[in-house]
Amino acid sequence: MAKFLHIADVHLGFDRYNSKVRTTDFFHTLWDVLERYAIQTRVDFVVIAGDLFEHRMIQPAILNQAQLCLQQLQSAGIPAIAIEGNHDNCPYGTKTSWLRYLSDWGLLTLLEPSQDEAMYTPWNEATKRGGYIDLDCGVRVLGSNWYGAAAPKAIEQIAQAIETLPVGPGSTVLLFHHGLEGQIARYSGALRYGDLLPLKKAGVHYVGLGHIHKHYTVDNWVFNPGSLEANNIEEGGLERGALLVEINNGQVDAQLQTEYRQRPIIRLSLKLRGQEALEDIEGLALKVIDRAMEQKRLIPADQPIVELRIEGQIGFERLELDTRKLQSLLQEHCSALIFLLRYEVENVEYGTPLPDDADRHQIEREIFTDLLTAHNVYKKRAQPLAAGLIDLKEQQLTGVNEETLYTLVEQILNPPTKASPGHSG
Residue 176 and residue 279 share a domain: no
pLDDT at 416 over 70: no
In a domain, 10, yes or no: yes
Domain residue limits at 395? 358-411
For residue 422, pLDDT over 50 is answered with no
How confident is the model over 46-52, as a mean pLDDT?
97
Residue 54: pLDDT above 60? yes
74 in any annotated domain: yes
> Has residue 416 been placed in a domain?
no
Q: Is residue 20 part of a domain?
A: yes
pLDDT band with cut points at 50, 70 and 90 for residue 215: very high
pLDDT of 378: 73
Provide the CATH number for the domain around residue 189.
Answer: 3.60.21.10
Question: Domain ends where: 310, 345, 380?
Answer: 345
Task: Please state the domain count of the chain.
Answer: 3
> Which residues, 6+ apart, have CB-to-CB distance to 24 below 8 Å?
none
Q: Mean pLDDT across the stretch 236-243?
A: 95
Decide if 422 is inside a domain. Answer: no
Contact 168, 134 (CB under 8 A): yes
Q: Is the residue at 421 inside a domain?
A: no
For residues 351 and 364, give the distance between their C-alpha atoms in angstroms, rounded to a whole number. Answer: 12
- 137-150 mean pLDDT: 94
Please give the pLDDT value at position 407: 82
Region 283-308: mean pLDDT is: 97
Q: Which of 255, 274, 295 is the last residue of a domain?
A: 255
Dist. CA 233–CA 160, nearest whole Å: 41
* E strand intervals along 12-54: 45-49
Within-domain flag for 350: no
**In one letter, which amino acid is 183?**
Q
Q: Are residues 206 and 63 in the same domain?
A: yes
For residue 425, pLDDT beyond 60: no
Q: Are residues 310 and 388 in the same domain?
A: no
pLDDT surpasses 80 at 363: no
pLDDT attached to residue 423: 43
Query: Cα(238)–Cα(179) distance, rounded to whole angstroms?
Result: 15
Q: At what angle do helices 20-34 and 60-75 cross, to 10 degrees?
A: 10
Query: How many other CB atoms are there within 10 angstroms of residue 421's CB atom?
Result: 5
Residue closest to 43 by CA, chosen among 236, 244, 194, 178? 244
Do 176 and 304 belong to one domain?
A: no
Check pLDDT > 50 for residue 330.
yes
b/e code 135-150 from CB counts within 10 Å (16+ = b): bebbbbbbbbbbbeee
Residue 413 is classified by DSSP as H
423, part of any domain: no
Measured CA angle at 162 (ends 161, 164), to 5 deg = 70
How would residue 424 be classed by pLDDT, with cut points 50, 70 and 90? Answer: very low
Please give the pLDDT value at position 39.
98
**What Rg, from alpha-carbon coordinates, does the chain have?**
32
Phi first, then psi: give them for residue 75, nearest 5 degrees: -65, -30
62-105 pLDDT, tens digit per residue, is 999 999 999 999 999 999 999 999 988 776 556 778 999 999 99
Percent of the chain with pLDDT over 90: 70
3-state SS class at 176 = strand
Last residue of a domain, one of 209, 230, 255: 255
Lowest mean pLDDT among 284-288, 331-335, 375-379, 415-419: 415-419
| Shared-domain flag, residues 204 and 330 | no
Q: Are 131 and 179 within one domain?
A: yes
Q: Are 273 and 348 in contact (CB under 8 A)?
A: no
Q: Order across the sheet with 45-49: list the strands.
A: 109-110, 80-83, 45-49, 2-7, 242-248, 251-257
Distance between start and end Cα atoms, the chain: 101
Q: Which residue has the higher pLDDT, 363 or 103?
A: 103
Least confident of 10-14, 151-155, 249-253, 421-425: 421-425
Same domain, yes or no, for 193 and 300? Answer: no
Helices (H), 131-206: 151-163, 193-201
Query: Region 232-246: what's the mean pLDDT?
Result: 95
Decide: residue 131, CB within 10 A, 0-12 exposed, 13-18 middle, 19+ buried. Answer: buried
Give the pLDDT score at 219: 96
* Contact predicate 272/29, CB 8 Å: no
In this predicted model, what pLDDT tens digit does every residue of 166-185 receive, in sequence order? Answer: 998 999 999 999 999 988 87
User: Are 56 and 175 within one domain?
Assistant: yes
Q: Are strands 80-83 and 45-49 parallel, antiparallel or unpaired?
A: parallel
Closest CA to 240 of 223, 265, 263, 257: 257
Are residues 146 and 233 part of one domain? yes
User: Mean pLDDT of all residues in the chain?
Assistant: 90
* 273 plus 305 within the same structural domain: yes
Arithmetic mean of pLDDT, 214-235: 96
With a pLDDT cut of 70, the percent of the chain lying above it is 92
Residues 16 and 41 both lie in one domain: yes
How much is the pLDDT for 283?
97
Q: Do residue 251 and residue 268 come from a single domain?
A: no
Angle at 410 between CA 405 and CA 412, to 5 degrees: 90
pLDDT at position 349 over 70: no
